[in-house]
Structure formats: C-alpha cells, structure tokens
Amino acid sequence: MTDDWTDLVVGARMSVDQQFADRVQASGLSRPQWGLVMTAVEFELEHADDPQEARIVADTSSLEHVLPEMDNVDQQMGPGGGAAGGASGGSSGVVGGIKDALGIGGGGDDDHEELATESRELAQAYADELQAFLEDEDRFEEVRRAAAGGQSTDTE
C-alpha cells in the first residue's frame, strides 16, 4: 500500500500543473521539455511515518535518461517553434544541432548540466507546490498516512 498515496494526489497534481504552468514558462525549459522532465521524475514522500518531518520530494535520478531527448524536442520545434527560452537551445541553432548529432558539437555537456540543474530545481519546486496545495486542502495528513502504509502513527 506504500504507493497508493500517489493515487490520492492525481486531482491535486492536475490543479498544481495548471498553477505551475507560469513557473515553467518563466524558466529556461519549454513545455515539451517540462513534459519529459515529469515523465522522468518520481515523487516520494520522505519520512511518511513522521507527521513533523514528512515531505514530498522529487526523485530526479532518472532525469539523465531524458536529457538527450530534451535537446531533440527543442530542435524539432525549430527556431521560434514555441520554446519558452530553452536553456538547451542557446545559440546553437540548426548548425549546432547538426554538430551535436554528429558528435562534434561543443559545450553539450555544459548545456546538459545546466538543463539538468534547472530541471531538478523545477521538479523540487513542483513537489513543494504539491505539498503546499495538499496542506491548504487539508489532505496532506491523509496522503502521509497512505504513504506510511496505513500504519497508525498517532502522536501522543
């Protein structure tokens, strides 16, 4: 029953997604890139058995698997194709994309690290926003208990 808590937050996540869209737009990530980040991120509830320490965190350990695709998404969109700034786009353009594809592009690792850092920070900000939303809706305790496996965690 430890993963059932994620089922409890589906509706909350939809609300937070809408609220968080402005934050994504203001970031260096495009919407398609953010979508890839969200497919790679898993949310965990740390210290679920402790009401005082329980916290939703973003596990971004799989992020490295989508970083190359994040570059491709922006390249496919082309030079004004709706990317919101694109931390990975920079000044590389079409020629830079071709060089990267051929393995002769420069600065790719720096771009990936910058993209990864921003993605991690945004994912954790999303997790914080999700927890704040659940707390505002008086639902975080229910979610915390579900994450703790339904164990009785009454404090004295």
- 106-128 burial string, b = 16+ CB within 10 Å, else e? eebeebbeebbebbbebbeebbe
pTM: 0.75
The single residue listed with the structure tokens 């590389």 is 92
Domain ranges of the chain: 4-78+89-147
* Of 38-52, 65-79, 109-123, 134-148, the least confident: 65-79
Burial of residue 15 (number of CB atoms within 10 Å: 0-12, 13-18, 19+): middle
The length of the chain in residues reads 156
Candidate from 11-20, 52-61, 105-114, 144-153 with smallest mean pLDDT = 105-114
The band of 156, judged by pLDDT with boundaries at 50, 70 and 90, is very low
* Tens of pLDDT, residues 84-130: 444 444 444 555 555 555 555 555 567 788 899 999 999 999 999 99
Q: How far apart are CA 67 and CA 115, in angstroms?
A: 8
Say what the pLDDT of residue 150 is: 62
Confidence bin at 73 (pLDDT 50/70/90): confident
* Encoded tokens for 73: 């998404």
Percent share of the chain, pLDDT over 70 = 71
